[in-house]
Structure 1
Amino acid sequence: MLPGSLVVLLLLSIQPSAGHAQSLTWLPFEEALARADSSNRPVLVDVWAPWCGWCHKLKNEVYPALTVELSGQFVLTRINRDNREAEHHYRGQKITSLRLAQKFGAQQVPTLVFLNARGDYLLHITGFVDKKTLKPLLTYIATEAYHHQSFEAFQKKNGF
């Protein structure tokens, strides 16, 4: 009986990893920009759409696997590019979700947009990105290595 109890306890102890998604805090866009500025952390903007299966896969599988990197080093926000009613304030303009996504080069979903702590556009990547691919990019942005080297050089130097 004891070995069965141990198995149950082990399974229960593993369960919290599935709960990592709850520990990520996704802020409204304007609040994310303010928090980034005050905490001197870059912003990850997840541009998504409700019908996009790859967007849901990012949210449910990739982000939870990178909870430590994301919650510790980035301010997170999501923009539903199909929401025609939502408006955001960016750089003195009132702009819809679709127009904001387009401003960041997000013509398709999913797209990940990276902004520096001041809200300046850094880069974007379009399409689904797995954990193995995203992790070095997060490190590249969080360490501000983009100021002095290409992503390719960064990957080579750091063994990614």
Structure 2
Amino acid sequence: MKKFSVLTLLYFIVTATAFSQEDIKWLTFEEAAIATNSNPKMILVDVYTDWCGWCKKMDKETFTNPEVIAYVNENFYPVKLHAEKTDRKFSFKGKEYTEASMAKTMRVTSFPNFVIMDATMENITQLPGYREPKPFIDGLDGIVKRFSK
């Protein structure tokens, strides 16, 4: 009976932890622009498409990793940008864009692609392709250290 109680308690702790796992706080492009105006921080733009298998793998495996979630939420305003979406328009630096036209403006030609912007929303660099959690954090960390004050 004691064994059953301990196993039951352990099950509930593991289940509660799994369901309480925080997610990356994805923003729209315009939400990130507003946020960085009031509290400057770098922007991580995940440029993806619906048909991209590697994009789905990033969402399923890398963006659910607790270390990736914590690192991205702490150091960036993360943005999801659908590279083929043309139905939603937004203004940025005096021009009107769709997600698709912004992806083209950023010169993204492969997916997934991660555009890193500084706090003034100027493009710094791109990290193209699928990345497992540790290499993804390492790549982002190198950029943060290089371009932070």
Please identify, of 90-99 and 7-16, the stretch whose mean Cα deviation from structure 2 is larger. Answer: 7-16
Distance in 1, matches of 2:107 and 2:46, equals 12
Amino acid at match of 2:35: R
Selected match of 2:130 from 128, 131, 153: 128
Q: Is the 8 A contact 1:37 1:119 kept in 2?
A: no
1:6 to 2:6 alignment: yes
Q: How high is the sequence identity, in percent, across the aligned residues?
A: 23
C-alpha spacing 1:8/1:127, structure 2 compared with 1 (3 Å) = farther
Q: Structure 1, residues 36-57: CA drift from partner, whole Å, max 9, x if none?
A: 2322210011111122222122
1:39 alignment partner in structure 2: 39
Out of 76, 98, 101, which is 1:74 matched to? 76
Structure with the higher helix share, 1 or 2? 1
One-letter amino acid of the counterpart of residue 60, structure 1: K
C-alpha RMSD of matched pairs (Å): 2.1
SS of the aligned residue for 2:63 comes to: helix
Provide TM-score, normalisation by structure 1.
Answer: 0.79
Is this contact kept in 2: 1:18–1:64, CA < 8 A?
Answer: no
**2:21 is the counterpart of 1:28:** no
SS in 1 for 2:64: helix
Alignment length (residue pairs): 146
Separation in structure 1 between the aligned mates of residue 20 and residue 64 of structure 2, nearest angstrom: 8
**Cα distance change on mapping 1:71 and 1:138 into 2, 3 Å:** same
Aligned amino acid, residue 43 of structure 1 = I
Structure 1 unaligned regions, length at least 5: 149-160
In the alignment, the residues of structure 2 paired with residue 101 and residue 94 of structure 1 have an alpha-carbon distance, to the nearest angstrom, of: 13
Q: TM-score under structure 2 normalisation? A: 0.85
> Conserved in 2, the CA contact under 8 Å of 1:110 and 1:127?
yes
Q: What is the alpha-carbon distance in structure 1 between the residues aligned to residue 77 and residue 6 of structure 2?
A: 39
Within 5 Å, give how 1:10-159 maps onto structure 2: 10-15=10-15, 16-17=17-18, 19-20=20-21, 22-65=22-65, 66-143=68-145, 145-146=146-147
- Paired AA for residue 139 in structure 2: L
Specify every segment of 5 or more residues in structure 2 that has no aligned partner in the other structure, as ranges: none
Which whole-Å CA distance do the structure 1 matches of 2:3 and 2:57 have between them?
35
TM-aligned CA deviation for residue 19 of structure 1: 4.8
Structure-2 change in CA distance of 1:49 and 1:17 (3 Å): same
- Asked if the contact 1:104/1:124 (under 8 Å) is kept, the reply is no
